[in-house]
Amino acid sequence: MDLLFTLLATVVALGLLVTIHEYGHFWVARRCGVKVLRFSVGFGPALYSWHDKRGTEYAIASIPLGGYVKMLDEREGPVDAAELDQAFNRKTVQQRIAVVAAGPVANFLLAIVAFWLIAVLGITTLAPVLGPVEEGSVAARAGLVEGLEVVEVDGTPTRSWQEVNLQLIRRLGETGQMQIKAIENGSSVPQSYSLVLSDWLRGADQPDPIRALGLTTWQPDVPPLVGEVSDGGAAQAAGLRSGDLIVSINGDPVDNWLEQVVPAIQANAGRPLEMGIERDSVRQTLTLVPQGREHNGEVSGFAGLGVAAFDWPESMIREIDYNPLVAIPVAVAKTWDMTILTLESLKKMLTGLVSAKNLSGPITIAKVAGASAKSGPESFLNFIAYLSISLGVLNLLPIPVLDGGHLVYYTAEWIRGKPLSERLQAWGLQIGVALIAGVMLFAIFNDISRLGS
C-alpha cells in the first residue's frame, strides 16, 4: 500500500510539473502563430489521446517521466506551402526565444502559486527554540545556550526550524562569520551571536547543518509510550506493541522517550537491549536488537518504533498565514530566494564546496513525493514548489538539448543576425545528450547508494 501511495504521489507531482512546463511552451507558441502538432504528457505509446478543432493532438503517454510539445517545423519534415507561416523555424528569433523560455517561466509561476496557497491557507509550526547546545561546538563558542529562540540568521527572519535550516544551507562549504540573532524566553530584545565557519561541512555527503553547529531542537518531556510499531522492524520482532509503556532499558529506569529511549536505541545498533515494559498493568521484559544504518560514516541504531502522540506547549506553537493580497509578494520572494539558493548550490557543487553525492534522481524524488504527501497538503505543496523551481533552473542551464541551450543558440543568432551553423549545433547536441545522460546516471547511482545505506 505504501509503495502504491508513493507511486501515485510521484505521478501526480511529475504529471503536474510536466503539464505546466509544456503548457508554457504551448500557450506562447499558439500566440506566436505556431501550429502545434502534439501536446504529450509522458513519453512512449499513448494511453489516451484526442484532437482539438485546430488539429492538435493531446496525449497521455505510458512513461510519465517527462513530456513534449511538437510544433510544425521544416527541420523535422516537409511542410505544406499553405502552412509555412505557421512553422516554428519561420518565426522571428524573438518569438522563438519567447516560446522556449515559456516552459521554465511556467515552472516558476507554478512555484509562486504553490507558495501563495501555503501562505493563504497558513501553517502551524514549532518555534526555533534551542535545546541543549553541544559543549565546545561552533554554537557554544559563540555563546548560544539552551532556551534561546533563533529569530534571524544572516539578516533573514526565521520563524521555524525549516526557515533556520534553509538559511544554514546557504552557508555550506563556506569560511567566514555567520550572524545569528536570538531572544531569551520572555524577552523581546534580540541578542547577536557571531559563529565562525571554516570550510563548514565542505564536501559532506549528507550535511546536517543544525547538528553540525552543535545545536539541537528544544523538546518537551515525552512519556516513553509506544505509539507505532513498523511491520518487519526490530521492535516488532522483539514483540513490542502500540500502547506499551517502556519503564526500563537494561535495568535503568526510563521516563523520557527523547532523552533516554531514542539515544539508547541509536547507540546500540546490533546489540541486544533488555526492554522493561508495562502492558495492561502487567510488567514484562523483551529483548530488542536495533538494526543499524549508516549516516555520514557513522552507524546508528533504529528499531521501527514511534512514540505516541503528545502535546506541545502553546508558547512553542507558531501560526503563520497571510491575507490573499499580502501573500502574493511573499510567494514571489520565496520563489526568488529558492531559485537563488538552487543556483548557489549548483555553483558550490561544481566547485567542490558541496558534495555531488547530494544530487538526487528519480528514486529519491519518488520517496520524497510519497513522504510529503503523507505529511499533508502544506508539505506536498512545498515539495511541488521546490521541485518546480529545480526543473525551471535545470531547463535554463546553457546545455544543448535543454531549453537553456536553445536560448543560447537563438540569442547568438539574434546578435549575429544569422543562425549558428548546423554542424556546430549538431556537436552541441551530442555533447548535451552525453552530459545529461551522465548526470542522470550519476544521480540514479546516488539514489541506489542511499537505498543501500
The pLDDT tens digits of the residues spanning 303-341 come to 888 888 888 888 888 888 899 999 999 999 999 999 999
Answer left, alpha or beta for residue 402, where phi above 0 means left and psi between -120 and 50 means alpha. Answer: beta
Selected catalytic residue, list 22, 149, 152, 163: 22
Respond yes or no: is residue 134 known to be catalytic. Answer: no
Contact 13, 369 (CB under 8 A): yes
Among 81-85, 106-110, 130-134, whose mean pLDDT is lowest?
A: 81-85
Residues 401-445: pLDDT tens digits?
Answer: 899 999 999 999 999 988 888 888 888 888 888 888 888 888 888
Among 102-106, 230-234, 403-407, whose mean pLDDT is lowest?
A: 230-234
In eight-state DSSP terms, residue 311 is P
- Please provide residue 144's backbone torsions phi and psi, each rounded to the nearest 5 degrees: -70, 140
CA distance 147 to 132: 8
Residues 6+ apart with CB under 8 A from 92: none
Burial (Cβ within 10 Å: 0-12, 13-18, ≥19) of residue 280: exposed
Q: What is the per-residue burial (b if ≥16 Cβ within 10 Å, else e) of 46-58?
A: beeeeeeeeebeb
Tell whether the model's pLDDT for residue 295 goes beyond 70. no
Cα–Cα–Cα angle for 365, 204, 146, rounded to 5 degrees: 95
Contact 249, 264 (CB under 8 A): yes
Question: Within 13 Å of residue 135, how many CA atoms lie on the same side as its CB?
Answer: 0
Closest CA to 100 of 386, 387, 395, 340: 395
Residues 385-405: pLDDT tens digits?
Answer: 999 999 999 999 999 889 999
Tell whether the model's pLDDT for residue 1 goes beyond 70. no
- What pLDDT is stored for residue 453 in this prediction? 53
Q: What are the helix (H) ranges across 45-197? A: 93-121, 138-142, 161-169
Tell whether the model's pLDDT for residue 137 goes beyond 90. yes
Tell whether the model's pLDDT for residue 158 goes beyond 70. yes
Tell whether the model's pLDDT for residue 80 goes beyond 60. yes
CA distance 162 to 155: 16
Task: Specify the CATH architecture of the domain 226-308.
Answer: Roll (2.30)
Span 47-57, average pLDDT: 92
Confidence of residue 297 (pLDDT cuts 50, 70, 90): low
Greatest pairwise CA separation for the chain in angstroms: 89
CA distance 370 to 229: 19
In eight-state DSSP terms, residue 35 is P
- What pLDDT is stored for residue 7 in this prediction? 83
Indicate the helix (H) or strand (E) that contains 431. Answer: helix 422-452
Q: What is the pTM of this model?
A: 0.84
CA distance 241 to 228: 8
